[in-house]
Amino acid sequence: MTNVRVAGVGLTHFGEHPERTTRDLFAEAGTTALDDAGIDRDAVEGVYYGNFMGEVAEHQGHQGPLAAEALGLDVPATRFESACASSGVAVREAVKNVRNGEADVLLVGGAERMTNLPTSETTEGLAIAADDLYEVRAGLTFPGAYALMADAYFQEFGGSREDLAHVAVKNHANAVGNEHAQYQKEISVEDALDSPTVAEPLHLFDACPITDGASALVLVSEDYAEEHGLDASVAVTGTGQGGDKMALQDRESLCRTPAAGDAADEALGEAGLDTGDIDVAEVHDCFTIAEVLALEGMGFYESGEAIAAARNGETTRDGHLPVNLSGGLKAKGHPVGATGGSQLVELTKLLRGDHHNSDAVPDAGVGLAHNAGGTVASVTVHVLEEVEA
């Protein structure tokens, strides 16, 4: 089994691009990734593309071939849909196919267009990632679902809205200087606490924004990188996936995410590492409580302990485990189909040393990406390591 190297990465700006299509956005990110890798288009053997709500936002399904065509590629192309984990799943499948020798060069990532719709329609479109029969028809949306999870957490373990505000403050601070981020501005704890209610106990600054954008990576086999003299100093050494019941009422607990634990155990096991070996992490913080649940679900903290991590400075840029140095979904933005891929782009840059926050982790050699779909019914985790190019 061959190791998988990240040869190149690319992102668009995350934000409002209502006049641009997903294929256009993906073409920009993909072209940047190919240029970064120094690989010609004719070397690419396939495209793995994540997208969630193309049918809703653009009345367009079957987007895989369109993504390849937009990049000028005449290769097999497949769209992967797993809600907010769509490109995380796409990356996982690409990694497995390079590992098993089916391909030497794959282009993987995702894109989403959301701001062309009214907020109400986007919210309704995102809600189809929940259980339609038992949740959506009852009026549940994801702000409401995560509010239920936050309230259950507070009841079982304690914590407060101020603890969540520190998560938002941290991630907004991390986004300052990120040219790809939707919000490159700091906020205060008071700003977060005083922001309008979305669904108690979650307020506006507890939620990620509606975002357009695209991400892309060029994955190559280790042999290909060596044969072609590529500067590919980051490897994907572990990949894992977990699942859980779709509807919240069917789960044993509203404030635990076992799917994250399963995915992390698999990815870390493949890499021969444990949580103590991770230097920096990008986790799925669609809402501030989601970052807390992710850190506990993967075993970085015991249940009930991660709620104070940001407040205590443990997950800030100068803490012992910097989390979401990109700004996270919270400030960088969340173009759903692109998010999982964008996390690996950010980690690759951090490990290579060309990230806007690289000075915070100058000795980082191992990163972890956690990408969740729905209310964490789908999860992928990837481990990236710095290796010799």
Tell me which of 17, 166, 180, 334 is the catalytic residue: 334
Name the DSSP class of 224. Answer: H
Q: What phi-psi label fits residue 15: left (phi over 0), alpha (psi between -120 and 50 degrees) or beta?
A: left
- Catalytic, 286? Answer no
Please compute Rg for the chain using Cα positions. Answer: 19
d(CA 322, CA 283): 11
The torsion angles phi and psi of 304, rounded to 5 degrees, stand at 90, -5
Could you give the 3-state DSSP secondary structure of residue 181?
coil
Tell me which of 13, 17, 84, 284 is the catalytic residue: 84
- Catalytic, 255? Answer no
- CA-nearest of 213, 219, 256 to 36 is 219
Rounded to 10 degrees, what is the CA torsion of 367, 24, 36, 222? 60
Beta-bridged to residue 214, according to DSSP, are: 111
Q: What angle do CA 267, 281, 105 make, to 5 degrees?
A: 55
Q: Which residues are catalytic?
A: 84, 334
